[in-house]
Chains A and B, each alone.
Chain A
Amino acid sequence: MSDRDILKAAMESTPECLTAEQLESLLDGKHSHPHLAQCARCQAELAMLKSFEAGAPLPDEGAAVAWISAHLDRELEAIKNPARGRLSRPASQSSEPRESWLARAFGLGGMRWILPVAGLTAVAIAGAIMLRPEKAPDLQANAGGQAAIYRSLEIQAVSPVGDLQQVPRELQWHAVPGATAYKVVVMEIDHSVLWTSETKETLAGIPPLVGSKLLPGKPILWQVTALDAQGRVLGSSQVEKFISLSNSSQ
């Protein structure tokens, strides 16, 4: 038996080990449990639970945490309905051994047709380009009489932006054509979310509870996203930043 096996056996959970619920009751440090003092495993579990519960990211984590949070928000429907949506998975994490595209094209029996088809497609596209008429077709506004399609827009934030004498009571921005709702997110400087809200107006009142978190001198970020009637994103504002210089409300 190697030392590693010995240690592993020693670290296994015993019947006396604490449950997650019991560990939770020890989180505040005000209570103790006799078993905890003598069990390295339970101490490790409690340390992990504390790490999980801790609100603040480490100094170099903020941007990545914000990126992952945004990714999760984008994939929310796929997370909830994996059969309908595709759980996107970065190729770097694929458990399958990776082959080059060339190897895949030639190596898989059922996919051998890809290359000839791709070749024929390329020839067809080249032919179409060479034979295209000199004059571009006339532009037609609202062709086909269908609903207008809006391209991704940047929403102009109005306030609050920059240094403020008082804590703001609301967030305000310019309307976006076609938008039926706006989603607002207020974040700490590390992009951890303080508050989100959805509204049909071009302003959102900041609840007192959230306002109390906007401490003087503390930089706060916010961003608004416009949604259409189907919930599709029409555009977003830049991430705006403001700092309240005192804790009275505007």
Chain B
Amino acid sequence: MDTLTIGYGTRDRSRHSKPLAEPKGRNLGAIIDPMSLEHLADEELVARSRSASEVGEREQYVNELFRRNYSRVARWCLRFTADRESAADLAQEIFAKVYQNLSSFQGQSKFTTWLFVIARNHCLNAVRSNVRQATELSADDGDELLLEIPDGAPDAYALAERAASAKMVRTLLNDALDETEKIVFSLHYGDDVPLDTITRLLGLENQSGAKAHIVSAKRKLARLVQQWKARGQYREVL
């Protein structure tokens, strides 16, 4: 079975590697006292499921591991979909993926972090493939976010090309936005997460949720771009 990469890239993470501890007391019978499972950490349940000699015993560890994480994954999926049937679907697919790849969990992180990576990737992929989201994204695409270069400006085209530099945009974001605005920006424009989903994911309680942060961020960015232009700072940053 292929190893499921935990993380977001392909870098060597061996420096973080911490081998999964061998479970203590491996000679368990096929019938396990459910109460004894209660006190085991997630990571130990994984380790014991691997070393279990009988299928029934292994499945008991996995069942316990899954059951204690149902709510976590259910909540996560619900925040992505906002309807329980779709969320249940996503959650089921996530647990199926986890089950198939459980052998690749190496204990380099907590089990829930590993689970998060799977759930995150699965839900983001689902969001991206959702046709409705494409509609939503294109609907709010009319506004100019960064440049607001006046028509007829002699160097407008060159300026826009320079602004494409990711480094410059990152500097802009850091200079202009507060932490929540940066997070909302990153999720919406970097990961294509719809605004209502971001509102639920981050538990934003203001009336307009993530949308208010996007609007505020755009204003700040536009203002900063104008200041930069006035001072000729584009060139310095680039």
Cβ contact within 8 Å between B141 and A40: no
With known contacts A4-B189, A65-B74, A21–B13 Cβ distance under 8 A: yes
With known contacts A21-B108, A48-B120, A72–B95 Cβ distance under 8 A: yes
A166 to B110: give the CA distance in the assembly, Å: 36
Cβ contact within 8 Å between B146 and A3: yes
Cβ contact within 8 Å between A19 and B186: no
Cβ contact within 8 Å between A15 and B11: yes
Question: How many whole Å from B45's CB to the nearest CB in chain A?
Answer: 13
B19-27, B75-83, B226-234: which lies at the interface: B75-83
Cβ contact within 8 Å between A193 and B70: yes
The residue that A61 contacts in the complex, of B78, B96, B116, with Cβ under 8 A, is B78
A-B contact count (CB 8 A): 217
B54-66 toward A: CB 8 Å interface, digit per residue (1/0)? 0000010011101
> Quick check: is A154 within 8 A (CB to CB) of the other chain?
no
With an 8 Å Cβ cutoff, the count of chain B residues facing the other chain is 81
With known contacts A4-B141, A93-B86, A58–B74 Cβ distance under 8 A: no
Cβ contact within 8 Å between B70 and A24: no
Cβ contact within 8 Å between B63 and A76: yes
A1-21 toward B: CB 8 Å interface, digit per residue (1/0)? 111111111111101010111
A58 to B190: give the CA distance in the assembly, Å: 25
A2 (CB) vs chain B CBs: closest residue: B141
Cβ contact within 8 Å between B189 and A68: no
> Quick check: is A121 within 8 A (CB to CB) of the other chain?
no
A1 to B159: give the CA distance in the assembly, Å: 12
Question: Interface on chain A toward B: helix, strand, loop, or mixed SS?
Answer: helix
> Quick check: is A174 within 8 A (CB to CB) of the other chain?
no
Residues of chain B contacted by A6 (CB below 8 angstroms): 146, 163-164, 166, 169
A93 to B90: give the CA distance in the assembly, Å: 10
Cβ contact within 8 Å between A193 and B71: yes
Question: How many whole Å from A93's CB to the nearest CB in chain B?
Answer: 5
B180 (CB) vs chain A CBs: closest residue: A47
Query: For chain A residues 85-114, which have a beta carbon within 8 Å of chain B?
Result: 87-90, 92-93
The residue that A52 contacts in the complex, of B8, B72, B191, with Cβ under 8 A, is B72
Cβ contact within 8 Å between B62 and A80: yes
Query: For chain B residues 167-182, which have a beta carbon within 8 Å of chain A?
Result: 167, 169-170, 173-174, 177, 179, 182
A137-145, A194-202, A238-246: which lies at the interface: A194-202
With an 8 Å Cβ cutoff, the count of chain A residues facing the other chain is 71
With known contacts A19-B8, A49-B113, A52-B116, A68–B74 Cβ distance under 8 A: yes
Task: Pick the most buried of A8, A21, A24: most chain B CB atoms within 10 A of its CB.
Answer: A21
Cβ contact within 8 Å between A20 and B113: yes
Task: Pick the most buried of B92, B144, B147: most chain A CB atoms within 10 A of its CB.
Answer: B92
Nearest 4 interchain pairs by C-beta: A11-B190, A10-B169, A68-B74, A44-B186
New A-B contacts (19) at CB < 8 Å, excluding given A10-B173, A20-B7, A207-B35 = A1-B161, A7-B190, A19-B13, A20-B114, A38-B170, A41-B190, A43-B186, A44-B187, A45-B8, A47-B201, A57-B75, A64-B78, A65-B74, A68-B88, A69-B71, A71-B88, A82-B96, A197-B35, A205-B35
List B residues at the A interface (Cβ < 8 Å).
6-9, 11, 13, 16, 34-35, 38-39, 59, 62-64, 66-68, 70-79, 83-89, 91-93, 95-96, 99, 108-110, 112-114, 116-117, 119-120, 137, 141, 144-147, 160-161, 163-164, 166-167, 169-170, 173-174, 177, 179, 182-183, 185-187, 189-191, 200-203
List A residues at the B interface (Cβ < 8 Å).
1-13, 15, 17, 19-24, 38-41, 43-45, 47-49, 51-55, 57-58, 61, 64-65, 67-69, 71-73, 75-76, 78-80, 82, 87-90, 92-93, 191-193, 195-199, 205, 207, 209-210
Give me 27 A-to-B residue pairs in the complex whose CB atoms sit less than 8 angstroms apart, sorted by A's number. A2-B141, A3-B147, A4-B145, A10-B167, A15-B11, A20-B113, A20-B116, A21-B13, A40-B174, A40-B190, A41-B186, A43-B179, A43-B186, A51-B76, A52-B119, A61-B78, A64-B87, A69-B74, A79-B92, A79-B99, A80-B59, A80-B96, A80-B99, A90-B89, A92-B85, A93-B85, A209-B39
